Each structure stands twice: as C-alpha cells, then as structure tokens.
Chains A and B, each alone.
Chain A
Amino acid sequence: QVQLQESGPGLVKPSETLSLTCAVSGASLNGYYWSWIRQPPGKGLEWIALINYSGNTFYNSSLRSRVTIARDTSKNQFSLKVMSLTAADTAVYYCARYFADSGTGWFDPWGQGALVTVSS
C-alpha cells in the first residue's frame, strides 16, 4: 500500500521561503511521477508542480517563478520550495502520486495534507 506523508513548518513569515517534504512508502520514486497540489482554506484545488522518474519537472505557470520541486531518491522523498511567500500562499499542501503515461492521467493516492499559514 502506497502512503505519502507531508511535513513542513506550519507557520512561516511573509517574504520567507517555505520548504515541504513528502515521504513516500510502498513505492519507489523511480517508477512514477510525483506532485504537489494546494488548497487555500475553504477553496478549491490548485496544481503546483510535477517531477517524473527522470527528474524532469513541470510547473504551473502561475507559480513557476517562485517554486521548485525536487526529489531525493536515496531517501525516497520529494520536496517543494515556495519563495517570497505572501498570505495568498496560506493553504493545505498535498503531495500525491501522479500516473502520467499514455492512457493514464490521475492522482492516486494523496497525502493527508500539511497546513501552512503565512503570517507575521
């Protein structure tokens, strides 16, 4: 059974950089695409970024200039950095596995989510 677990600081100050990690168990990073999605309080879902088994990255253009997705295959985990934070970045951040080969295109499973609040 594949499980994902997000970890992060919970509270960060405006203008600072957020660093989140997603630990993966039950599957190797090398076999799949992995992704970050966020959900502001009471709002819908926004896709942020993908990283594939070759280390290639894909970003939402709305966030591209401020975010970086990376992976650490030795620890079987991947990460997200978001720079220049504002209150608008306050959200629950989810990591998820993404199936992206031909004939596939879905997130499963998702992590439980990590609430990040941007406030001074």
Chain B
Amino acid sequence: DIVMTQSPLSLPVTPGEPASISCRSSQSLLESSGYTYLDWYLQKPGQSPQLLIYLVSKRASGVPDRFSGSGSGTDFTLKISRVEAEDVGIYYCMQALETPLTFGGGTKVEIK
C-alpha cells in the first residue's frame, strides 16, 4: 500500500498570513500517462470532507484561488496565500494512483 505522510500535525495560523502543508508519498504518484494522482480535501468542523485540489494543482469548482497545490513524484504542498477564518479544519492529502486509495493522517489548521 502507498503510505501518505503529512506534516505538520497541527498548524496554528494568523488570519491574513500564509500557510503551507506538506504531504509525502511512499512511492511516486506519477502514472505512465503523465498524470500525477494526488488530491487535497478539507474537512471543516462537523462537516464531511470536501474536494479542494485534484491532480496536484487543479482547484475544484468553487475553491478560492488563495488555495494552491504543487509538487511532483512523492513530495507535495498545499498552500493558502492568506488564511481566512473559514479555512479552519483538517486537511487531508490522498493518493489515487492505485487501490487501496490511501489518505494522509491529516493536518489540523486552527486560528491563533
């Protein structure tokens, strides 16, 4: 199974400041087709997860452009350019290269 490792576990942030979350996979998520199958999800308090980013860097419909994804191979980053109060929650990365689909352990973003 592909192991997904996120850091940090917890991220206190100041509104208006940037934030960055790291995700590392135990093997490359690049397929021979050229696609890299890495997604990001946000689970806001008391809600189900919602898709933020797919294929490393593509924002899902309705996701603000302050969210951006980058990376390649086994190392990926989610960045929030200016954190807003509504961005609090747990962020998960997920690999979709192969089954079993696996998630990172999550990064809890909270306001300082």
Contact = CB atoms under 8 A, between A and B. Distances in A.
A61 interface: yes
Contact of A107 (B37, B41, B99): B41
B8 to A, nearest CB: 15
B39 A105 contact: yes
A74 interface: no
A100 to B, nearest CB: 8
A11 interface: no
**Chain B facing A: main interface SS:** loop
Interface in A90-110: 94, 100, 102-110
Interface string A2-33: 00000000000000000000000000000000
Which of A44, A50, A111 has the most B CB atoms < 10 Å from its CB?
Answer: A44
Nearest to B54: A106
Given A47-B101, A105-B39, A110 B50 contact: yes
B110 to A, nearest CB: 15
Contacts, number: 65
Interface residues of B, number: 26
A9 B105 CA distance: 28
B106 to A, nearest CB: 5
B47 to A, nearest CB: 8
A110 B48 contact: yes
Interface string B37-65: 10101000001111100110000100000
A60 B39 contact: no
A62 interface: yes
B92 interface: yes
Given A45-B49, A103-B33, A108 B99 contact: no
Interface string A33-65: 000000000001111001000000010111000
Interface of A: 44-47, 50, 58, 60-62, 94, 100, 102-113
14 contacts: A44-B105, A46-B103, A47-B103, A61-B100, A62-B100, A103-B35, A105-B35, A105-B97, A106-B94, A106-B96, A108-B50, A108-B51, A108-B60, A109-B51
